[in-house]
Chain A
């Protein structure tokens, strides 16, 4: 591959990184779909126990980069990733890395709620089951209930855990998917526009939830809505045409953007 130097990005040293441990270090990441390059020489450090938001116009590569962090791109034909992504100092693109175990540590919530066509209980119990996290049935029940509680869904569904996950409303489904992700006790949670299919009230609940759980996880959220990024995140990264343009504390980013393109985007000139 071409060995271009590490690209300099405006405002790449957010203050928050000085306060928190760094969880993810990406350096010179390139992603190709066949001939097309979707991510160009991207480098970024992401802190633990905080919410980082990825924003940018459609097709800028923010979702693509998100999916490289739990290697969901592996499931796409013709997708190729170069460069290093380190989680806790371990390169997740190493040959000896086990994707299955990576994904147990890096949970993901998708754009459209995708509960399995099974009961609510089974949806949440699925992860602990396949990873053998529960020693007994009571263990498993405890994990499920705790996860549902953490996802603040338990009160709404406690009487109908045996109902199908698909019978819930859209917002509830998305919280179920978050509970499902939490149930395997991940360290990182990736959220790919988790509110884009939801109405404003359901979105607000999800945002509240993200705020509640951020103390325990490294959360990365891809969003179309700048307001949402401003509300839920401590850090914001702005992507444009496969480049990481700017990365910094959310407050700074929205008040004093360093790059012209960022400024144009957040003031609504394009996007």
Chain B
């Protein structure tokens, strides 16, 4: 025997081990890519979604003018007008119509909604002055969240002289702080710097100053932006007004419960998921009440009673194939059979539930069969041994023991149905639904379809709403999966 233990060529061995390490690294890298993709997906959507869970409101003193609010029908009252008037009152100097319109455009179209509810609950307040919160519009909201431009405020530290020639304003003195595109706020007004030359800066009024006093250090400041006016959805005048509102301390940031409690809307700041959540709920009830009994019955038959013959084999092949048929095909089935042939209503949870029930049926059957198969035959034999009929043995002993497995499979089926979109597009569940659907035959939409619809809308604010809706959907799915995993662990039985 040789002294060394090695057999063969050392370099060859080294190469073999090199290849071993590389191969293992490829495997680890492949898993890392998948996991990183998942993390990136969730983080990216989470970051997009985060702002949508908050909203900005203005807190205003409003005068509930009885002439605008009919006491016998409070809900019809012009609360938007009341709120707008309240906002105008904060800027008594603002008289030009364009300026006023700019100011009121900061409010949401539904700015009066909160006040309406408050007064409807408490009509005695009509005629008095109350504090009201008014929702801001999507552009103002996005600006305050810093999503349209980053605004930098710097205090004025030099002395400047102000002069007016016609429409134009001239600033002279130490111009070192100024640059074109900035806004100088001074003397109760705001000026946009058009150009800075040696010795003088030209500026135009965004809000006309009330006096032409000299600007001394500390009495003025500068707003500068990361995005020029042309590159953002909010103009300089709105920005100046918003900044003024912020200075007055009337703007508050709150958690956007509205996102969960209101229905769909064309206005991003008002749009919520309530309708979609209820639509999903109704559709799922329909799906479950059909697919669970059918699925369990079919599984029991195939696993326990079916004779091994051509017919059984056909059913089995069929179920396996059906599980892999693209979901959009089920949509075509729903459209052609349920809507066109049977004349069931379009866009309704009834039809959506039917289609999804057929879609998840194979999943439930396959999971239930696996659960039934996992129950050892000795249990059934024991029951048969004491004289139970075959059906009694199955329904009294085997099926109850398989219930946890069946439930786990059902939950996974529900998760699949909850995230399914394509077949529901086919049967028209794309309706614009503001209200909660009242029944199985009313038009409705569901969460994933709502996501699809919002993702198509051009407003930036809707992008964030879409991401937020996705997060809601993912959280629900995650909970369902967690329950399934918990049940699998909890009831896992080793025979």
Residues of B in contact, count (CB < 8 Å): 10
Taking the complex as formed, is B475 at the interface, i.e. its CB lies under 8 A from any CB of chain A? no
A105 to B4, CA, bound (A): 13
B5–A132 contact, CB under 8 A? no
8 A-B residue pairings within 8 Å (CB atoms): A88-B5, A100-B13, A100-B16, A101-B5, A101-B7, A130-B16, A132-B9, A133-B8
Taking the complex as formed, is B12 at the interface, i.e. its CB lies under 8 A from any CB of chain A? yes
A36 to B6, CA, bound (A): 34
Taking the complex as formed, is A97 at the interface, i.e. its CB lies under 8 A from any CB of chain B? yes
Q: Which residue of B lies closest to A89 (CB)?
A: B1
Point out residues on A near B: beta carbons under 8 Å.
Answer: 88, 90, 97-98, 100-102, 104-105, 130-133, 187
When distances are taken between beta carbons in the complex, the residues of chain B under 8 Å from A102 are 5
Residue of B6, B7, B9, B16 ringed by the most chain A CB atoms within 10 A: B7
Question: Closest 3 A-B residue pairs measured CB to CB?
Answer: A132-B12, A88-B1, A90-B5
A227 to B8, CA, bound (A): 39
A104–B7 contact, CB under 8 A? yes
A131–B8 contact, CB under 8 A? yes
B6–A101 contact, CB under 8 A? yes
Q: Which residue of B lies closest to A131 (CB)?
A: B8
A208 to B1, CA, bound (A): 28
Q: Which residue of B lies closest to A98 (CB)?
A: B13
A102 to B5, CA, bound (A): 8
A250 to B272, CA, bound (A): 86
Q: Which residue of A lies closest to B6 (CB)?
A: A101
CB distance from A186 to the nearest CB of B (A): 10
A100 to B15, CA, bound (A): 13
A241 to B242, CA, bound (A): 86
When distances are taken between beta carbons in the complex, the residues of chain B under 8 Å from A88 are 1, 5
A132–B8 contact, CB under 8 A? yes
A133 to B12, CA, bound (A): 11
When distances are taken between beta carbons in the complex, the residues of chain A under 8 Å from B16 are 100, 130
B1-37, CB under 8 A of A: which get 1 and which 0?
1000111110011001100000000000000000000
When distances are taken between beta carbons in the complex, the residues of chain A under 8 Å from B7 are 101, 104-105, 131
A97 to B9, CA, bound (A): 16
When distances are taken between beta carbons in the complex, the residues of chain A under 8 Å from B13 are 98, 100-101
A198 to B364, CA, bound (A): 44
Q: Which of B338-373 contact A (CB under 8 A)?
A: none
When distances are taken between beta carbons in the complex, the residues of chain A under 8 Å from B1 are 88, 187
